[in-house]
Amino acid sequence: MPQTLFVNACMRKELSRTLTLARAYLADKENVFEVDLATLGLLPLDGETAARRADLQKAGAWDDPIFDLAKQFASADEIVIGAPYWDLSFPAALKVYIEHASVCDIAFHYTEQGQAEGICKATSLTYITSCGGFVEGANYGYEYLCGIAKMFGIPETRFVAAEGLDVVGLDVEAQMQKALDTIAKLNGR
């Protein structure tokens, strides 16, 4: 059975409108594994941790827990990321997670010509977000994830956004419904 990996970067938990949208997208999925970044407590790689990880890679010690997130990411059939629009991008916890998932010889490898070649199993990465205003062409979080998907060999990226949710006088329910309509189309409804 295909597995969907849901990377939950909705730091406000159940109060998050992004999480509401992500849950709507995932409602039709049967085999979903969720990684909740608000509770994971990941730290950015520092010099010592990066060196340790590199030493383990060289030794082929792939059973070390430091590689668990990368193996989980690489083996998923579909990746769904729910993250609110923060500071032209997404919460820092998502960047730290990607840093942990981005492991050479698990998520990608280098060809003899020195080019990164993705080896992830996923056929799509769906990025779901919401924001108080309007992005207006400045969604660097989605652009970053498109680059990561390409590097990891994920051929399709998809985007769902509910925008303008904090604009006074704007119909928030209508904005959410537009995003839910997009989700229904992505799910073939």
Q: What is the mean pLDDT of residues 145-165?
A: 96
Per the document, the length of the chain is 189
Q: In the prediction, which pLDDT does 144 show?
A: 96
Q: In the prediction, which pLDDT does 1 show?
A: 72
Q: How many domains does the chain have?
A: 1
Whether residue 18 lies inside any domain: the answer is: yes
Within 10 angstroms of residue 39's Cβ, the number of other Cβ atoms is: 8
Higher pLDDT, 55 or 86: 55
Q: In the prediction, which pLDDT does 43 show?
A: 95
pLDDT tens digits along 64-108: 999 999 999 999 999 999 999 988 899 999 999 999 999 999 999
Whether residue 187 lies inside any domain: the answer is: no
Q: What is the mean pLDDT of residues 130-156?
A: 93
Q: In the prediction, which pLDDT does 27 show?
A: 95
Residue 118: pLDDT band by 50, 70, 90 thresholds? very high
Whether residue 188 lies inside any domain: the answer is: no
Task: Give the range of the structural domain holding residue 64, as residue numbers without chain letter.
Answer: 4-182
Looking at residue 110, which CATH number applies to its domain?
3.40.50.360
Q: What is the mean pLDDT of residues 167-174?
A: 92
Q: DSSP states of the chain as a string?
A: ---EEEEE--TTGGG-HHHHHHHHHHTT-SSEEEEEHHHH------HHHHHHHHHHHHHT-TTSGGGHHHHHHHH-SEEEEE---BTTB--HHHHHHHHHH--BTTTEEE-TTS-EEE----SEEEEEEE-SS--TT--HHHHHHHHHHHHHT--EEEEEEE--TTSTTS-HHHHHHHHHHHHHHHTT-
Whether residue 88 lies inside any domain: the answer is: yes
Whether residue 82 lies inside any domain: the answer is: yes
Q: In the prediction, which pLDDT does 25 show?
A: 97
Q: What is the mean pLDDT of residues 114-124?
A: 95
What is the phi/psi pair of residue 125, to 5°? Answer: -125, 120
Q: In the prediction, which pLDDT does 139 show?
A: 85
pTM given for the model: 0.94
Q: In the prediction, which pLDDT does 78 show?
A: 97
Percent of the chain at pLDDT above 90?
88
Question: What is the average pLDDT score of the chain?
Answer: 94
Whether residue 113 lies inside any domain: the answer is: yes
Q: In the prediction, which pLDDT does 13 show?
A: 83
